[in-house]
Amino acid sequence: MGLAIEVRNIRKFFGNLRAIDDISFGVEEKSLTILMGPNGSGKTTLINVIGGLYKPDSGKVFFLGKDITGLPPHEIYKLGLARTFQIPALFLQLTVLENLMVASKNNPGEHFARSLIKASWIEEEEKITERAFEVLAMVGLLHMWDKPATVLSGGQLKLLEIGRALMSDANTILLDEPISGVNPTLAHDIFEKLVKLRDNFGITFFIIEHRLDIALGYVDEVIAMAYGKLVTTGKPETVTSDQRVIEAYLGG
């Protein structure tokens, strides 16, 4: 199998701060790959570069072999690479179903001209609704479809975020801390769902997460970074027993 994402020699500086300093690695298609590293090591910045929110100062990003360096986020999204945010971007006053439908509407790939023709607008609306119900089943929120997002638990909000990313038919999803602030039982539930989504729909997940006690039991590959640099990559047990990784976490 090939690589879903590949970054080559990526650099992203903020003034003098070397947030990402010459990082290269690949994320296998249909894998659950975790990006780990202490606070401030550059994980979110890296996902922002991959998703097109930040342009790298140098280096290249490839998605399924295609060079996507510098493409705007909506172009990357249209290619099938979606993401969630560290701080949830949900509309709490809307229902669960509406949150999914809005995610799809926000997709700038939609043809504005076509949406002016009423018949086609209704057809579009029906398609989006159908997809939203499919996605609700995929993330296990079908029973909550008409509830306002405010009544969801922390874990269910995370699932809704993942659902929003799935509305685009993405085959690769970047998740920024999908289980932060979620109780352990639900956190395991979320990772079990990710494994199922991978197995049943062939989705690749590239995940930032600090809760390694839970996450490492589910992931195939680990990418460890610290201070904007790559420390090592490999299987969970190899990476977590690596002295350089341990030192990075101890503040070494």
Ligand X SMILES: Nc1ncnc2c1ncn2[C@@H]1O[C@H](COP(=O)(O)OP(=O)(O)OP(=O)(O)O)[C@@H](O)[C@H]1O
Residue selected from 10, 23, 25, 44 as contacting ligand X according to rule CB under 6 A: 44
Q: Which is nearer to Mg ion, 31 or 84 (CB)?
A: 84
d(CA 16, CA 33): 30
d(CA 155, CA 63): 29
Q: How far is the CB of 98 from ligand X (least distance, A)?
A: 29
Q: Which is nearer to Mg ion, 46 or 141 (CB)?
A: 46
Residue selected from 9, 17, 121, 201 as contacting ligand X according to rule CB under 6 A: 17
d(CA 215, CA 49): 23
d(CA 96, CA 145): 5
Q: Is residue 149 part of the contact set for ligand X (CB under 6 A)?
A: no
Query: Are 240 and 249 contacting, i.e. CB atoms less than 8 angstroms apart?
Result: no
Residue 221, token pair as written in the block:
């590959």
Q: Is residue 231 part of the contact set for ligand X (CB under 6 A)?
A: no
Going by the DSSP 8-state scheme, the letter that residue 27 receives in this structure is: E
Residue selected from 2, 14, 92, 241 as contacting ligand X according to rule CB under 6 A: 14
Residue 172, token pair as written in the block:
């690769």
Q: Is residue 42 part of the contact set for ligand X (CB under 6 A)?
A: yes
Q: Is residue 181 part of the contact set for ligand X (CB under 6 A)?
A: no
Q: Is residue 43 part of the contact set for ligand X (CB under 6 A)?
A: yes
Q: Contact positions toward Mg ion, by CB under 5 A? A: 43-44
Torsion of CA 150, 160, 77, 170, to 10 degrees: -170
Residues of this chain that interact with ligand X (CB under 6 A) are: 14, 17, 19, 37, 39-45
